Structure 1
Amino acid sequence: MKRLAVSGMAAMMLFFGGCGDENLDEEISVLTQRYGLTGDPAEGRDIPSVTDPKAELGMKLFYSKHLGLDMDVACVSCHHPYLGGGDALSLPIGVEAVDPEVVGPGRLHKDTGKSYYDGGPTVPRNTPSTFNAALFDRTQFWDARIESITPVKGANGSVGSLLVPGNSDYDRILWANGEVSNLPAAQANFPVTSPQEMRGFDHPSLTTKDAVRDYLVERLRGANGNSDLNASALSAWLQAFREGFSDPTADAATLITRKNITDAIAEYERSQLFVDNPWNRYLNGERSAISDEAKRGAILFFSSYEEGGANCVQCHKGDFFTDEQLHVMAVPQIGRGKNHDGTTEDYGRENVSLDEEDRYRFRTPTLLNVEVTGPWGHDGAFVTLEAMVKHMLKPETAADYDPNTLFQDGILVQCEDTKSNTQHALEQLERNRASGVSPHRSVDFGDEEVRQIVAFLKTLTDPCVKERSCLQKWVPDYDTNESKLLDLLEAKL
């Protein structure tokens, strides 16, 4: 194992026997005690079961194309449990898919339509996983445009008010706790209003986000003259809401509300708790739960720069492995871009704050189950976990990034400005380092150290997320009349 300058704890361990296998557990113990790790990020949290009535209703809403304004897309089109709670694409394809039932790498965009199709995907950022949604306390989205004003550990954003976008990302409004129950519920309000994700480009009279949300409520109720659904479908939705909210006699106006819809979706997402991983078992005394290679990777991960480590823990903090803060890490810029000035760059948090100092800042993702949540980066620029780790160790290598490593159909047409745009992000990172804004340093680790860190990251994978039989409870039963009436998307994977 290659090490840099060693001091402090690492020097002590070397003095009392070096880095031999017999000392790995002791060294990890010192590090994990330093950071107060227990292996259980869900301790003290209220986590629903997927069999709870409200979560079961949420699953039906999550899979239903009735929440796509043009009824050609569902939440699950980009967030499937079998695909790590995402879509296994660098950049998503929401509305106007060639085959709306196809989810994952085979999903293609029509070469006709109204979404400014250029040959590649139309959504500019990688799909975040819905797994462990119940563990976030501060923010949602890559640019944290939904954020808790008074974050409380373990509350999942359920205490106090949330700051959310108005009719644009930078038009900020407050939602009180009575309007929305938690961070996942707040997030569920927004994909349905994004033209590329779920809104589509018809219904020009719906000029605000609230107008779209209200229309969808009216659709499920059959209210205000909305006749998108037939009487059988409306009856099925009313029955589903009665069961979900354990109120067998309430009418549609009482039960089918915006808050109830997003609360139910949130409960389904919050039920996707996957934290029973080898690292958890290791920290609870099962020393053989992870390999010696992974143990060496853990030491690199948690050790400071001065101790010869990668200091990943400075941002991937705690048992949830994220500080939920935003940082510039200069992930190569691919895709259509997302900004307020019409270029092909993604400005990240600046799109929310309109502060140039926030340019290229993105939220630290959790590393739980990271093995199955690729491609990685805010735009899915890296298609292997090894490549993502190498970038994080030394972002300067992004100057030589090769988009030809991408596998997604049509995406290269959106990479013509990748080199120059990535260089701009690298320059911002260097400015942040020079000014002390960024604590990140580059380290010269070789392939062996990268393999060790990747081996450690794989110990954060709950085995359930790799087994369809285990994940089946988060997929609805399609062999029912109800599933047909609710138009549940039966994904072709």
Structure 2
Amino acid sequence: MNKANLKHAAMLLAVLSVLHISAVNAKPRALPPMHQPPNMQAKTPLDHELSTLISQHGLTGHVEGAKELPKISDPMAQLGMQLFFTKALGGEKTVACASCHDPRLGGADSLSLPIGTNAVDPNVVGPNRKAVNDEINIPRNSPTIFNTGFANNSLFWDGRVERVITTDEQGNEVSFISTPDSGFNQPDEQAGDSLVSTLARFPVTSREEMRAEAFVNATTNEQVRTHLAQRIGDYADGQGSLATNDWLQVFREAFNSQDEAQSLITFDNIAFALGQYQSSMVMINTDWHRYVRGDLKALSEQQKQGAKLFFTQIADGGAGCVNCHSGDRFTNDGFFNLAFPQYGIGTDENFADIGRAAIDSQPSNQFAFRVPSLLNVTLTAPYSHAGAYENLAQVVSHYSNPEQTIEQFFQRGGACGLKQFALSAQCETLNQQARENTDMALQLLRASPFVAANLAPQQQKDLVAFLHTLTDKCAKDKRCIKKWMPNHSTPNPDNLRLRTARLTGG
């Protein structure tokens, strides 16, 4: 090797030696924090407290059973959507299921008390829906249809559609669904397989909600349903047939059947399709569930403080909300009297609504109503069985100090202080015996194990902030929610579809 080559080799060895030493001494470079996965972000002391509470209450960030529920793209759910929006299921063809349960309004109607068959304009849905002569004839607020497919215990404010689990003479566990048709704790042989499809059998039979004065010869609920099935199937007996009727084709496509209308278009199948549509409204993609699954940035510090209050017992300085609004669905499916203001037409001759006690007279059921899920609660105002509170701040205030918040409700004018009735000349008729009935509910609340949380103003704000984390992303996105709304390409078999563009009458 000549001198030039030797010199070149020596220089190469020197460079390699330097590179080797640098590699040995180099420290590994950490990923910038922004590239770390959410569950690797550093926990604050508050995150650690919440982690303990999440573990104590068995929360997973997943709602059990979601994968088993139908999708809106399923043919049966699509049929259910068409049925849900047709006024043909209204006795006088003036009201649809969607008239009081609009997907764009959190699955409800944004009214304190709903307006069914006596709407001034049947095609107006939402806050501007008005009653003829301002006459309110439905006593309870419209519950949301979101996530009803998860319900496995009961539906309606008083739980009158209910799954009963008992044992037979041999000691085997059996279950059945009881309804107003069968009576409390008695099996309804006509009930569907699910609570939500069974629920669909009842609004159509209510004169105030959907039936009106149609089918004058029908003396039972089942006869009303038979008339409706005959109308949709175009094998009616002359009572209310449809001028346009292409329902047989869409039923055949959904059921993948070529059966004749009389065997295919039954009310059982109508209710089943309606149930599939409502069950497809799975709205559980919330900031809170993402936080529980490990995304520590999903909640603000204020929302985390609210969560701590929510899941901490009153004796430990919290609000104790979790005692009724438990689990990943935020409900224990029970019934409880919280003495929310009584007003309106009520359900008895004294304008009172005693809730669950009307079907199950146990003393604890007096003025008790079903504990609703809090998922998407920010979208479903007004609140309570009669929509007495128009925002979540009032609801949280009631839990903290029921007497004071009730007094404020009546100081605002009771029914006359609510947006829906503020301009109505009839609003005072909704205040008849309202204070007396509310006081009775409040006396029972005082005698119950209920303890007011007595929260400071900032704590109440924190709780409201937390409740905002329970809203599904799609549920509040107008573009996303359109999947559950008929569009120009959706079949309109009878030309009686609710004009969904007229959300508030504009």
TM-score, normalised via structure 1 length: 0.86
| 2:475 equivalent to 1:462 | no
Q: Secondary structure at the match of 2:187?
A: strand
Pick aligned residue for 1:140 from 155, 163, 175: 155
Partners of 2:366 and 2:270 in 1: how far apart?
34
Aligned with 2:217 (options 187, 205, 212)? 205
Matched, 1:299 2:308: yes
How far apart are residue 179 of structure 1 and its match?
4.3
Q: Does structure 2 conserve the Cα–Cα contact (< 8 Å) formed by 1:301 and 1:312?
A: yes
Residue 237 (str. 1) matches residue 237 (str. 2): no
Q: What secondary structure is seen at the aligned counterpart in 1 of 2:158? A: coil
Q: Equivalents in 1 of 2:236, 2:473: separation in Å?
A: 47
Q: How far apart are residue 338 of structure 1 and its match?
A: 1.2
State whether residues 276 and 462 of structure 1, in contact with CA within 8 Å, keep that contact through their aligned partners in structure 2: yes
Alignment of 1:112-261 (within 5 A): 119-150=134-165, 160-166=175-181, 173-176=186-189, 179-226=191-238, 228-230=240-242, 232-233=244-245, 236-247=246-257, 249-261=258-270
How many angstroms does 1:354 deviate by?
3.9
Match of 1:110 in 2: 132
- Identify unmatched segments of 5+ residues in structure 2: 1-42, 167-173
Q: Whole-Å Cα distance in 1 between the matches of residues 433 and 123 of structure 2? A: 32
Say whether residues 1:348 and 2:355 are aligned partners: yes
Q: Say if 1:163 and 1:173, in contact at 8 Å, map to a contact too.
A: yes
State whether residues 400 and 452 of structure 2, in contact with CA within 8 Å, keep that contact through their aligned partners in structure 1.
Answer: yes
Unaligned runs of 5+ in 1: 1-20, 112-118, 152-158
Q: Which is further off, 195-204 or 278-287?
A: 195-204
Displacement of 1:44 after TM fit?
A: 6.1
Instruction: Provide the residue aligned with 2:73 in structure 1.
Output: 51
**Equivalenced residues, count:** 444
Q: Which amino acid aligns with 1:38?
A: T
Give the corresponding residue for 1:91. 113
Match of 1:23 in 2: 45
Aligned partners of 2:399 and 2:453 also within 8 Å: no
Deviation, 1:486, is 4.4
Q: 2:380 aligns with which of 361, 368, 373?
A: 373
Structure 1 range deviating more: 344-353 or 223-232:
223-232
Deviations along 1:38-61, whole A, 9 cap, x unmatched? 121144651111010000000011
- C-alpha displacement at 1:392, in angstroms? 2.0
Deviation of 1:224 (Å): 4.8
Tell whether 2:451 aligns with 1:450: no
Question: Structure 1 residue 122: deviation in Å?
Answer: 1.6
In 2, the alpha carbon distance for the partners of 1:306 and 1:216 equals 54
Contact persistence 1:313–1:321 (CA under 8 A): yes
Work out whether residues 478 and 490 of structure 1, in 8 Å CA contact, stay in contact via their aligned partners in 2: no
Partners of 1:166 and 1:173 in 2: CA distance: 9
| Offset from partner CA, 1:92-125 (integer Å, 9 cap, x none) | 00002110000111001112xxxxxxx3422100
**Separation (CA, whole Å) in 1 of partners of 2:428 and 2:129:** 16
Which residue of 32, 35, 52 corresponds with 2:54? 32
Contact 2:340 2:406 in 1 (8 A): no
User: Is the partner of 1:175 in helix, strand or coil?
Assistant: coil
| Cα distance in 1, alignment partners of residues 184 and 147 from structure 2 | 28
**C-alpha contact 1:120 1:413 (8 A) present in aligned 2:** no
Identity of aligned residues (%): 37
Show CA shifts across 1:167-187 (max 9, x none): 8xx5664125x8412000010
Task: State how 1:388-399 maps to structure 2 within 5 Å.
Answer: 388-399=395-406
- What amino acid does structure 2 have at the position aligned with 1:139? S
Pick the structure with greater CA Rg. Answer: 2
Distance in 1, matches of 2:433 and 2:481, equals 39
Specify whether residues 127 and 36 from structure 1 end up closer, same or farther in structure 2 by C-alpha distance, changes over 3 A only.
same
* Equivalent residue, structure 1, for 2:84: 62
Q: Residue 114 of structure 1 aligns with which residue? A: none
* Matched AA of 1:392: Y
Decide which of 417, 420, 428 is 1:408's aligned counterpart: 420
Partner deviation per Cα, 1:444-479 (whole Å, 9 max, x = no partner): 212211110011111000121111101001000246
- How far apart are the structure 2 equivalents of 1:208 and 1:274? 36
Write out per-residue CA displacement over residues 189-224 of structure 1, whole angstroms, 9 at most, x where no aligned residue.
Answer: 000011110111243321211111111111112225
Q: Structure 1: which amino acid aligns with 2:395?
A: M
What SS is found at the alignment partner of 1:150? strand
Note the C-alpha offset of 1:406. Answer: 0.8
Is residue 438 of structure 2 the alignment partner of residue 422 of structure 1? yes
Asked whether the equivalents of residues 399 and 419 of structure 1 are also in contact (C-alpha less than 8 Å), the reply is no
| Counterpart residue identity of residue 239, structure 1 | Q
Which residue number in structure 2 is paired with residue 5 of structure 1? Answer: none
Read off the aligned partner of 1:463 and give its amino acid letter: K
Change (3 A) 1:227 1:165: closer
Q: Structure 1: how far apart are the matches of 2:236 and 2:280?
A: 34
CA positional deviation for 1:62: 0.4
Q: How does 1:265-344 map to 2 (within 5 A)?
A: 265-339=274-348, 342-344=349-351
The 8 Å contact of residues 77 and 280 in structure 2, kept in 1 or not, is answered as: yes
Query: In the aligned structure 2, how far is the partner of 1:413 from the partner of 1:305?
Result: 39
**Is 2:451 the partner of 1:441?**
yes
Q: Are the counterparts in 2 of residues 331 and 377 from structure 1 also a CA contact under 8 Å?
A: yes
What CA deviation, in whole Å up to 9, does each residue of 1:243-269 have, x standing for no partner?
11122x221112101111111000000
**Residue 463 of structure 2 aligns to which amino acid in structure 1?**
I
Residue 86 of structure 1 deviates from its aligned partner by: 0.1
Measure the CA separation in 2 of the matches of 1:164 and 1:204.
23
Q: What TM-score do the two structures reach when normalised by structure 2?
A: 0.84
